[in-house]
Homo-oligomer: A and B are copies of this chain.
Amino acid sequence: MTDSATRTPDSSPARPRVVIVGAGFGGVEAARALKHADADVTLIDRRNFHLFQPLLYQVATAALSPGDIAWPIRSVFRRQKNVTVLMADIIRVDVARKLVTDGTVSIPYDFLVLATGAMHSYFGHEEWEPFAPGLKAISDALLLRERLLLAFERAELAAKAKEQARQVTTIIVGGGATGVEMAGAVAELAHHTLSAEFRGIDPAAARIVLIEAGPRLLPAFPEGLSEVTRRSLEAMRVEVRTGAMVTACDRNGVTLADGERIDAAAIVWAAGVTASPAAVWVGAEHDRAGRAQVGADLSVAGHPEIFIVGDTAAVKNADGRPVPGIAPAAKQMGRYVGRLIAARIAGRAQDKPFVYQHSGDLATIGRKSAVVSLGRMRLTGFPGWVFWCLAHIWFLIGFRSRIVVSINWLWSYLTYQRGARLISDRERAGE
């Protein structure tokens, strides 16, 4: 029993209480790693589901339904009886009294794991957000899906009324993995899926522009793959603009630093993220992107009972490079902290620092094409795509979704059809 656990204020059983805020990749792994711990684990999220965020762009482009890439957190922990799942939006931590609160309900902890993730950063232009949603939540993906699909519907209606149908244009800002995957998926949606279904306009003429401020796409990948990616996208008729900076953004399009104006029906923001305010909650030092400085064991200075994992922690590799904000890194941190807490509860010494193992980078460019960097291995084109599919299906939690996602992908691959092309009232009402 640790010191902090014996200080529990009320008469609840003496089992230490572990509170985990955030049920993304980091939080879920931390809870799982506590499976055999003699502890009461409370996993709190403001949503009732765990989201497989790397596939959100497939929801935004109507290939998958939200239910295909999200699982009720309760189902995931159905059989792990030491986990209680709560749906609450935590807004404050009282580090002195050891409580987290949503403003109404307070939940006491002996150990606290903050895994609250990251959100979009508009680099000081937060007013751009309504015009250029990112891809972090299901609501973002549904909003983008609706804008993309509605643009074609409006063009067709205009054509029927003998007006000139404006060219349908989609802009993707940011040439990292998310931007590249989104650009490829939009190109397929417009040029293949929709192409035979309109009578007054030609969706195959839709324009897709991918804007990256840096000199190359996929800056985190080995340089050779950037050029492969650019060529693949251009073959799919995506306009790739590297070294191009967005200086203005509004409802109807963007303006670049060189003065060029590009009008668009939909703008996707994939350019940058900022950490959730966990560091501020617990009074930890943080970097410019809001990521908390944590110790070698991912704990907060002065609070050995508080840990921060995933996108909201600033962690460095042994070689001094920052650990990237990707799902495998969040999972490794979550697992490390879960095991560390379990060891402390069991009274075992645990002083190995967190070490990140980078297994590789992968990004799909579209049907039949992906780039993979795995140690010294490089895969591109169709072999890369097959590898990417297998890896993602493998990582999707849950048997059922693996089958449904596989069928949807196979179906899309064979027919170019997409199953989730719905524009609902509710989504339009939110516009």
Q: Are B160 and A86 in contact (CB under 8 A)?
A: yes
Q: Are A75 and B421 in contact (CB under 8 A)?
A: yes
Pick 15 A–B contacts, CB within 8 A, sort by A.
A42-B160, A48-B149, A49-B423, A74-B194, A74-B197, A84-B160, A87-B150, A105-B160, A138-B424, A138-B426, A139-B429, A401-B419, A403-B407, A426-B427, A430-B430
- Residues of A within 8 Å of B, CB-based: how many? 63
Q: Is the interface of A mostly helix, strand, loop or mixed?
A: mixed
Q: Are B160 and A107 in contact (CB under 8 A)?
A: yes
A window 97-111: CB within 8 A of B? 105-107
| A47 interface hit (Cβ, 8 Å) | yes
How far does the Cβ of A158 sit from chain B's closest Cβ, in whole Å? 8
A window 141-172: CB within 8 A of B? 142-143, 149-150, 153-154, 156-158, 160-161
CA distance A153 to B72 in the complex (A): 11
Q: Are B197 and A85 in contact (CB under 8 A)?
A: yes
Q: Are B86 and A156 in contact (CB under 8 A)?
A: yes
CA distance A238 to B48 in the complex (A): 26
| A137 interface hit (Cβ, 8 Å) | yes
CA distance A266 to B227 in the complex (A): 55
On chain B, the residues within 8 Å of A81 by CB distance are 199
CA distance A153 to B43 in the complex (A): 13
CA distance A156 to B84 in the complex (A): 9
A window 32-89: CB within 8 A of B? 42, 47-49, 65-68, 70, 72, 74-75, 77-79, 81, 84-88
Of the candidates B86, B197, B423, the one whose C-beta lies within 8 Å of that of A157 is B86
